[in-house]
Amino acid sequence: MSILQIVVVIFVLFALTRTVKKFRDGGLALVWFLVWLCVWGAIGVVVVLPQTSQMFARLIGVGRGVDAAVYVAIIGLFYVVFRIFLRLERIEHDISSLVRHLSLRDGGVDSRVSAHEPHDKSPQQ
């Protein structure tokens, strides 16, 4: 094994332990725990057995294993960015709701909650 392979394997093992710990502490949902297990596992397998990436590349019709890995990584990153964007939208909405609540409370507007309070149009995650 090359030095790079050893370093990556060590990092993958570290990441796996952190993922398991996070799941045990309740900070990671089961679905995402399994997703990250697969991600780290796949990285570890590809690094230790580079020929697996070539097999995957042939399977999906791409020339080289490293190209397939890059394409998968880019798709994965786009999805992560999309999720982060949704999260940010949600946070922005919550900040505005909080600021609104404070302004209405401090402004002394009648705090009766009517049957027609604004609909919550929080962006769906």
Partner 1 sequence: MKVVIMPAYNEEQTVGAVAASVRPLVDAVFVIDDGSTDRTAVVARAAGAHVLSHVINRGLGAAIQTGIVAARRAGADIAVTFDADGQHRAEDIPRMCAPIEVDEADVVLGCRTVDRGQMPLVRRLCNVGGNALTFLLFGLWVKDSQSGLRAFNRHALASLALSCDRMEVSSEIVKEIHARHLRLVEVPIAPVYTKYSLSKGQSLTVGIATAAKLLLNKVMG
Give the footprint of partner 1 on this chain (CB under 8 A).
86, 89, 92-93, 95-96, 99-100, 102-104, 106-107, 109-112, 114, 116-119, 121-124
Q: How many CB atoms lie within 10 A of CB 123?
A: 12
User: Is the CB of 58 or the CB of 101 nearer to partner 1?
Assistant: 101
Name which of 122, 123, 42 is nearest 82 in CA terms: 123
User: Is the CB of 18 or the CB of 101 nearer to partner 1?
Assistant: 101
* Shortest CB 95 distance to partner 1, Å: 7
* Shortest CB 39 distance to partner 1, Å: 25
Q: How many CB atoms lie within 10 A of CB 125?
A: 8
What the block records as the tokens of 11 is: 């990092």
Is residue 8 within 8 Å of 17, Cβ to Cβ? Answer: no
Exposed (0-12), middle (13-18) or buried (19+): which is 20, by Cβ within 10 Å?
middle
* Shortest CB 94 distance to partner 1, Å: 11
* Shortest CB 81 distance to partner 1, Å: 13
For the chain, the first-to-last Cα distance in angstroms comes to 42
User: Is the CB of 5 or the CB of 122 nearer to partner 1?
Assistant: 122
User: Is the CB of 52 or the CB of 89 nearer to partner 1?
Assistant: 89
